[in-house]
A = this chain, B = another copy of it.
Amino acid sequence: MSEHVYNLLKQHHSVRKFKKEPILESHIKQLIEAGQSASTSSYLQAYSIIGINDPEVKEDLKEVSGQPYVVENGYLFVFVMDYYRHSIVNQESKHDMETSFESAEGLLVGTIDATLVAQNIAATAEDMGYGIVYLGSLRNDIERVREVLNLPEHTFPLFGMALGIPEDDEDGSPKPRLPFEHVFHQNQYDRDVESQREQLKAYDQTVSDYYSARTNGERSETWSNQIANFMSSKQRLDMLEQLNKSGFIRK
């Protein structure tokens, strides 16, 4: 019975300013091992991890992401959904496995597998004293990422993660999350619109107060406004096409 992990995870916030010191080789190995230890659906292990320290590769990926910390960090991971090895087994076996990894079920399994691995790595890295930030922004240009990382068919770059020692003036803090009673349902989903609305209203105030306090009143956006603006900007609408091109959701 330990509360070490609970206390560690509760402190999580994304770090976006890192010292230039590279992460120890021995730590990178440990991080991958911790990642591989995560549960995997039907033992499929439908992921690969690209570890990046080559400055040119980092620069190429920064152009996709637009974020400076894709270059300025202690190390960079890209998490890839990966059925390439399964397609190699498929070539040798007399089975028809393609339908399986080209189905929507295959997409869910691969995305879940890769994400379980990534979050094990995040928790282990934070326990070692590093900071981390996820990079969904690599999905801004899937074709370019595939090219830069030489990704074959039946693989797909889901997201990246930059990590390193936080800069001394890094001052992030955990951002308020949706109310507990809003995300947690007992035995059945509570779909009552009025109560959901009430909860979101209270949360909007909490988020607005949080931004206001951190920016001396300059910013006081609510959560609802923030997500409405973001989601109406219709980003990455080529994703289905990119998945299809890479061999996913064909069936």
Q: Do A104 and B228 have beta carbons less than 8 Å apart?
A: no
CA distance A111 to B189 in the complex (A): 18
Determine if A168 is an interface residue (Cβ-Cβ < 8 Å). no
Q: Do A189 and B149 have beta carbons less than 8 Å apart?
A: yes
CA distance A228 to B50 in the complex (A): 25
Q: Do A183 and B32 have beta carbons less than 8 Å apart?
A: yes
Determine if A167 is an interface residue (Cβ-Cβ < 8 Å). no
Q: Do A177 and B6 have beta carbons less than 8 Å apart?
A: no
List A residues at the B interface (Cβ < 8 Å): 1-6, 8-12, 14, 29-30, 32-34, 36-39, 41-45, 47-54, 57, 80, 82, 84-86, 88-90, 92-93, 95-97, 99-101, 103-105, 107-109, 111-112, 115-116, 118-120, 122-124, 126-129, 132-134, 136, 139, 148-152, 155, 158-159, 174-175, 177-178, 180, 182-189, 191, 193, 196-197, 200, 223-237, 239-240, 243, 249, 251
